[in-house]
A and B are shown apart, each in its own frame.
Chain A
Amino acid sequence: MTVKHAGLRLIDEKGLRHDGRRPDELRPVAMRVGVLSNADGSALFEIGKTKVLAAVYGPREPPQRHTMLPDRAVLRVRYHMAPFSTMDRKSPAPSRREIELSKVIREALEPVVIAELYPRTAIDVFVEVLQADGGTRTAGVTAASLALADAGIPMKGLVAGVAVGKVDGVIVLDVDELEDSAGEADLPIAAAPDIGLITLFQLNGVLSRQELEEAVEMGLSAIRRLVDMEKETLRSSVTVMPGE
């Protein structure tokens, strides 16, 4: 549902957005891995005010044996928004949206996880949104990709996601909550650029063919930058010596 924000200008006369960003600019990004000692792998991803924590457990024997697959590990993803993640309290019970986003994130990760190495096991990915300000599903994909790599789950490449949108007729990168609700279109994309795969592609709203091409180009370029940051984060998590 689109909330109308009458009279609100999202792009000013200089072509800048309501928070001062250029149309092709990401919000400030921060990434950390190994933030939870109980999990096999974990990551905290922040983009602007959106903060997402991901934890990975496994491969391990699933408690419900009927969920096992004989030829590969089953990837189980739970996307959940903390009750304190939004301005109004969010019910902690899983909503229809959260169930759908769990599936969408799982499908964005499945093409890169080499699940065939661990038949009859489960890899559990928990994506917890700590603070929501737009782009939580794509932030969830990025955090989960980092957490999987941190857990040592074999992957063909890293995945990252970003939401591109259209506000006041302009294609903009990394839409926040206000731009998402007041804008004309929202296009979350996730990709594994190292193996040339787009793993998540959704569109809410209307874009012309030309706008779509521009949006995809903008999104993929940002994803390449995010994946490079992921790699740097993983490298520095290893190279930093204990006690430093």
Chain B
Amino acid sequence: MPRLRGRIVVPGDRLPPEVKGPEEYLVRIGDAVTPAVVGLLESGSKPSFVPLTSIYIPSPGDVVIGLIESQGVMNWFVDINSPYQAVLNVQDFLKRQYNPAIDDLSRFLQIGDYIIAKVQSFDRTRNPVLTVSEEGLGRIVEGKVVEISPAKVPRVIGRKGSMVNSLKELTGCDFLVAVNGRIHVRCPNEDLEAISILAIKMIEREAHTTGLTNRVKRFVEEEKKLRGV
């Protein structure tokens, strides 16, 4: 039976004053500190608060996986799993001038396409602007995209990338974990792809428990045996 990595705390609970954690999810009223969302208090020499839910707020430089939702005259509107809809300008995508009289936007990106993009600018007064003009960015043409809560992204990556690296070794798949809670999975075959997705969902579900890396390893190995891969 897996154990919790700490104590579950909820809004209104008292936390130790020296607690560390994301400041937007810690409420300080005088000397009292309380979590703003449900989370885990990991005690030890340095108590830390880990939120179990979070809402993705873009920050310039973030690599995100976006879903094309609609198109304008000169841009696409992209869902980046955030309260704010992002914009991708067509010149940025084409890397040349765009003439709406000649070019048809839907030839390049269609509604429902996924893209890997970088947040170019965002300051909460205007919606985030994306760019795909760097190496490794652009339309996703193969594999699958899995969506998890952005709060669980650090657990999928693991300490110094331990979790995602062990998943890579065990499955032979390639994972791109974006900060907005979307993961691009590319695998040699469909069975490994299904195992990888199930493993990611398991990490999301059990992120607050101990011994997760070993359980995930066991799960992947058993599934591989069952499926004969």
Chain B contacts with A in 1-39, Cβ cutoff 8 A: 1-2, 4, 8, 10-13, 24-25, 27, 29, 34, 36-38
Chain A contacts with B in 52-69, Cβ cutoff 8 A: 58-61
Chain B contacts with A in 138-156, Cβ cutoff 8 A: 151
Taking the complex as formed, is A99 at the interface, i.e. its CB lies under 8 A from any CB of chain B?
no
Given contacts A61-B83, A192-B12, A234-B10, contact A154 B36 (CB under 8 A): yes
Q: How large is the interface on A (under 10, 10 to 19, 20 to 34, 35 or more residues)?
A: 35 or more
Quick check: B208 and A238 within 8 Å, CB to CB?
A: yes
Quick check: B34 and A241 within 8 Å, CB to CB?
A: no
Given contacts A60-B83, A120-B124, A241-B209, contact A155 B11 (CB under 8 A): yes
Quick check: B83 and A149 within 8 Å, CB to CB?
A: no
Give every chain B residue within 8 A of A235 (Cβ-Cβ).
8, 10, 38
Q: How large is the interface on B (under 10, 10 to 19, 20 to 34, 35 or more residues)?
A: 20 to 34
Taking the complex as formed, is A104 at the interface, i.e. its CB lies under 8 A from any CB of chain B?
no
Docked Cα-Cα span, A156 to B25, in Å, equals 9
Quick check: A152 and B205 within 8 Å, CB to CB?
A: no
Q: B24, B55, B85: which has the most chain A beta carbons within 10 Å?
A: B55
Q: Which of B1, B13, B52 contacts A238 (CB 8 A)?
A: B52
Taking the complex as formed, is B206 at the interface, i.e. its CB lies under 8 A from any CB of chain A?
yes
Residue of A nearest to B54 (CB): A152
Quick check: A157 and B34 within 8 Å, CB to CB?
A: yes
Given contacts A156-B11, A157-B11, A235-B8, contact A241 B2 (CB under 8 A): yes
Quick check: A156 and B27 within 8 Å, CB to CB?
A: yes
Distance from A214 Cβ to chain B, minimum over Cβ atoms (Å): 26
Which of these binds chain B: A76-84, A111-119, A125-133? Answer: A111-119
Chain A contacts with B in 28-60, Cβ cutoff 8 A: 58-60
Quick check: B38 and A149 within 8 Å, CB to CB?
A: yes
Taking the complex as formed, is A7 at the interface, i.e. its CB lies under 8 A from any CB of chain B?
no
Quick check: B8 and A156 within 8 Å, CB to CB?
A: no
Q: Which of A114, A118, A238, A239 contacts B83 (CB 8 A)?
A: A118
Taking the complex as formed, is B45 at the interface, i.e. its CB lies under 8 A from any CB of chain A?
no
Docked Cα-Cα span, A117 to B29, in Å, equals 17
Q: Identify 14 new A-B residue pairs, CB closer than 8 A, beyond the known A152-B37, A152-B54, A192-B12.
A: A58-B83, A61-B84, A73-B83, A114-B27, A118-B57, A119-B124, A155-B11, A155-B36, A156-B29, A157-B12, A158-B10, A194-B11, A238-B8, A238-B208
Jot down 6 A-B pairs with beta carbons below 8 A, ordered by A.
A70-B125, A73-B83, A119-B124, A149-B11, A149-B37, A149-B38
* Across the A-B interface, the 10 shortest Cβ-Cβ residue pairs: A152-B53, A194-B12, A154-B36, A157-B12, A59-B83, A121-B83, A155-B11, A234-B10, A235-B8, A231-B10
Q: Which residues of A contact B (CB under 8 A)?
A: 58-61, 70, 73, 112, 114, 117-121, 149, 151-158, 192-195, 227, 230-231, 234-235, 238-239, 241-242
